[in-house]
Amino acid sequence: MSVAAPEPNVRSTIAPETPILGLSGVSKSYGAVKALREVGFKVARGEVHAILGENGAGKSTALKVINGEIEPDEGEIRLAGRATSAADRAAGDITMVHQELAVFPNMSVAENIFVGRMPRRGGRIDFRRMHARAAELLQLFGLQIDTHEILGHLTPGQQQIVEILRAVESDASLLILDEPTSGLNNREAETLMALIARLRADGHTILYVSHRLHEVLEIADHITVLRDGQFVETLRNEGLCEDDLIRRMVGRDLGPVAPADTSAVAKAPVALAVEAMSLPGAFEDVHLTVRKGEIVGVFGLEGSGAEQFSQALFGIVPPVSGTLRLFDRPVRDVSPAGLMRAGMGYLNGNRKEAGLYMDRSIADNVSAPVLDRMTRFCMIDAGRIDALARADIRRFAIRVPGPEGRPRELSGGNQQKVMISACLADGPEVIVLNEPTRGVDVGAKAEVHEVVRKEAAGGKALLVFSSDLPELLRLVHRIVVMRSRRLVGEVAGEAMSEAAVMALAAGSR
């Protein structure tokens, strides 16, 4: 299927422009895994072309083939109409930002941006020019960072931005970004979208992988969907919605949009009650209840206080005043340990910040919260830990070889499932989920949602903090909205819509 060529039945005197990139019949296997199977698509010069697919669909492999890092087993890759070898492409005018951070943590911010291309003057590196240009680039993101700062001291999101700026500065005509926004906050991601729009206006072509579908719909000219290593379709980005994309990515419908009947839940006993909780400067006088079997969402734009409130609820940033009750019993010890003892579970979905022991086994990770009960005659009972891990791997369909696998080797979606199973290991009655699907693909997202719905159906009370509004609308019974450090309102049932929530969150009503 052709993207750039004109309709075949339209006669034109102008020669159709040759696509900057064309793949045909590209296959690549890793042992028994067929990462790419006869993939073919085209990318027009000067467009933003998104590649979508679930984890494992072959997106990164396709990008590395294009970048010349991987030699495909079969197939042809043309650049501007010319057949190329991997070596041609590696030496050519293509820059790629990989899914994994590739930075030099011990070097300065400016050196990271200009590595291999530092400006010179009279045979010496021109440090003044380098730092001035680096400062200009950082300014694009509104980042007030000293360009002499050692990169390892920055947050992962800031490091990712530095890596993106390095690619931008390379001025390649084809820029490849593999999930560049997974570690960025919403504001940083929006800035990146604006930067991409500018690069396109300057004539660059951008190939772009992201799980944030609204972002893709906002910025892409064409969208190519891969599934199980195969090409599914290249779509023109016109009149598409997120569900159109999801259906093509997973090849199935993802079930009900919102939880069904809520009337039974409304009569259930209150499991979690927050009364007059305040942390001056962060949030003020928050009241909130969650009933048994209920899924309540909390939404707030940046600076609304929602983030600090989510952390206060689990004693990570203790509130200064207010009461927290679980099943009518006030919790006196609001430290994480005290809250866990009182029957609460907490998931911090920011995997880069918290949650997983990346280099310990899955078994160690899922048993960590309940380790004190995994002993026998004062010895750690390895058999029980192994059994718990195996049960969780089955229950959450975690794709690992076995309980000895390490989170570092897993995809983001599967890491998330390990975190959720650790959070549920102790059987908490009240579960607070903070960004439970950040950075995971649609398939794993649907599976996480399935787990959340099952826990609710089993009588658990769930409070979900998410900056992904479509996710909340799909998952929860009602959404409470925070703005300017206060809880400003709530929408539920039929009234729950993106517009209604945004109106509260942005303050237009």
Ligand X SMILES: Nc1ncnc2c1ncn2[C@@H]1O[C@H](COP(=O)(O)OP(=O)(O)O)[C@@H](O)[C@H]1O
Please report, as ranges, the residues that interact with ligand X according to CB under 6 A. 30, 33, 35, 53, 55-61
Q: Which is nearer to ligand X, 61 or 112 (CB)?
A: 61
Query: Where do the H-state alpha helices sit in 349-496?
Result: 362-367, 382-395, 412-424, 442-457, 469-475
Question: Please, what is the minimum distance in Å from the beta carbon of residue 409 to ligand X?
Answer: 10
Q: Which is nearer to ligand X, 441 or 455 (CB)?
A: 441
* Residues from 74 through 133 that contact Mg ion (CB under 5 A): 99
Q: Which is nearer to Mg ion, 305 or 439 (CB)?
A: 439
| CA dihedral (178, 179, 185, 189) positive or negative | positive
Question: Please, what is the minimum distance in Å from the beta carbon of residue 399 to Mg ion?
Answer: 14
Which has the closest alpha carbon to 103: 138, 52, 143, 154?
Answer: 154
Contacts of residues 6-14 at CB distance under 8 Å and 24 or more positions apart, as own/partner, are none
Question: Please, what is the minimum distance in Å from the beta carbon of residue 375 to ligand X?
Answer: 36
Q: Mark residue 112 as left, alpha or beta (left: phi above 0; alpha: psi -120 to 50; beta: remaining).
A: alpha
* Residues from 52 through 81 that contact Mg ion (CB under 5 A): 59-60
Which residue's CB atom is positioned nearest to Mg ion?
A: 60
- What's the rounded Cα separation, in Å, for the pair 195 and 374? 51
- What's the rounded Cα separation, in Å, for the pair 118 and 385? 52
Burial bucket for residue 106 (CB in 10 Å: 0-12, 13-18, 19+): exposed
Question: Please, what is the minimum distance in Å from the beta carbon of residue 178 to Mg ion?
Answer: 6
Q: Which is nearer to ligand X, 52 or 193 (CB)?
A: 52
53 contact, one of Mg ion, ligand X, none, CB 5-8 Å limit per kind:
ligand X
Q: Which is nearer to ligand X, 57 or 162 (CB)?
A: 57
308 contact, one of Mg ion, ligand X, none, CB 5-8 Å limit per kind:
none
The β-bridge relationship of strands 430-434 and 461-465 is parallel
Which has the closest alpha carbon to 215: 417, 426, 48?
Answer: 48
Q: What angle do CA 270, 275, 279 make, to 5 degrees?
A: 140
Q: Which is nearer to ligand X, 145 or 177 (CB)?
A: 177
Q: Which is nearer to Mg ion, 60 or 147 (CB)?
A: 60
Question: Please, what is the minimum distance in Å from the beta carbon of residue 358 to ligand X?
Answer: 18
Number of residues that bind Mg ion (CB under 5 A): 3
- 76 forms beta bridges with 24
Question: Please, what is the minimum distance in Å from the beta carbon of residue 130 to ligand X?
Answer: 33
Q: Which is nearer to ligand X, 23 or 57 (CB)?
A: 57
Which has the closest alpha carbon to 93: 251, 186, 8, 205?
Answer: 205
Q: For residue 180, what are the CA distances in angstroms to 112, 209, 210, 225, 362?
A: 17, 8, 7, 18, 27
58 contact, one of Mg ion, ligand X, none, CB 5-8 Å limit per kind:
ligand X
Question: Please, what is the minimum distance in Å from the beta carbon of residue 180 to Mg ion?
Answer: 12
- What's the rounded Cα separation, in Å, for the pair 452 and 445? 11
Rounded to 10 degrees, the C-alpha dihedral 112/117/122/124 comes to 40
Q: What angle do CA 389, 358, 426 make, to 5 degrees?
A: 40
83 contact, one of ligand X, Mg ion, none, CB 5-8 Å limit per kind:
none
Q: Which is nearer to ligand X, 28 or 166 (CB)?
A: 28
Q: Which is nearer to ligand X, 349 or 439 (CB)?
A: 439
Q: Which is nearer to ligand X, 165 or 226 (CB)?
A: 226
> Position of tokens 């972002």?
215
The β-bridge relationship of strands 222-227 and 124-125 is unpaired
- What's the rounded Cα separation, in Å, for the pair 229 and 4? 23
Cβ pair 213, 437 in contact under 8 A:
no
61 contact, one of Mg ion, ligand X, none, CB 5-8 Å limit per kind:
ligand X
Q: Can residue 414 be called a binding residue for Mg ion (CB under 5 A)?
A: no
How many CA atoms lie less than 13 Å away from 498 in the CB half-sphere? 7
Question: Please, what is the minimum distance in Å from the beta carbon of residue 32 to ligand X?
Answer: 9
2 contact, one of Mg ion, ligand X, none, CB 5-8 Å limit per kind:
none
413 contact, one of ligand X, Mg ion, none, CB 5-8 Å limit per kind:
none
57 contact, one of ligand X, Mg ion, none, CB 5-8 Å limit per kind:
ligand X
Structure tokens at 466: 């998410």
Question: Please, what is the minimum distance in Å from the beta carbon of residue 63 to ligand X?
Answer: 8
Question: Please, what is the minimum distance in Å from the beta carbon of residue 404 to ligand X?
Answer: 18
Question: Please, what is the minimum distance in Å from the beta carbon of residue 436 to ligand X?
Answer: 19
Question: Please, what is the minimum distance in Å from the beta carbon of residue 395 to Mg ion?
Answer: 25
Question: For the chain, how big is the Rg over CA atoms in Å?
Answer: 25
Q: Which is nearer to ligand X, 46 or 58 (CB)?
A: 58
Contacts of 256 (CB under 8 A, 6+ apart): none
Name the residues that contact Mg ion, by CB under 5 A. Answer: 59-60, 99
